[in-house]
């Protein structure tokens, strides 16, 4: 559901940006380090929006890569700890179930 709301918000933002860009079609002067360029404002708005989207997307991909790397590292640590201690969830669950059964049994006089 979260992804759907994100998609709707992104589409709404794109629509607002497109309408804003179409309204502003006058040429503007852009000062660069090496000179001045006259560019239609619509291209400037859309170009800046695309560059911003690429920056945000790149950051998101980098963050996801870091998280996957951390998950792999933690999984390896978990395997190492289980091997060192002999702990397995199945054995632990069986022990707990057996203990619970013993507690539930009535004591005969």
Cβ neighbours, 10 Å, residue 30: 13
Reading the block at residue 92, the tokens are 């632990």
Cα separation, 15 vs 21, in Å, equals: 10
pLDDT digits (tens, 9 = 90+) for 1-41: 777 888 898 889 888 888 887 787 788 898 888 899 999 88
pTM listed for this prediction: 0.58
pLDDT digits (tens, 9 = 90+) for 87-101: 777 777 777 888 877
């Amino acid at each position: 559901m979260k992804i759907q709301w994100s998609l709707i918000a992104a589409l709404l933002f794109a629509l607002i940006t497109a309408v804003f860009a179409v309204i502003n079609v006058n040429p503007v002067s852009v000062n660069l380090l090496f000179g001045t360029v006259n560019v239609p404002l619509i291209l400037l708005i859309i170009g800046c929006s695309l560059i911003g989207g690429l920056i945000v997307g790149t950051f998101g991909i980098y963050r996801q890569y870091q998280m996957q790397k951390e998950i792999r590292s933690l999984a390896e640590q978990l395997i190492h700890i289980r091997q060192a201690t002999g702990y397995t969830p199945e054995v632990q669950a069986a022990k707990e179930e057996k203990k619970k059964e013993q507690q539930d049994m009535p004591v005969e006089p």
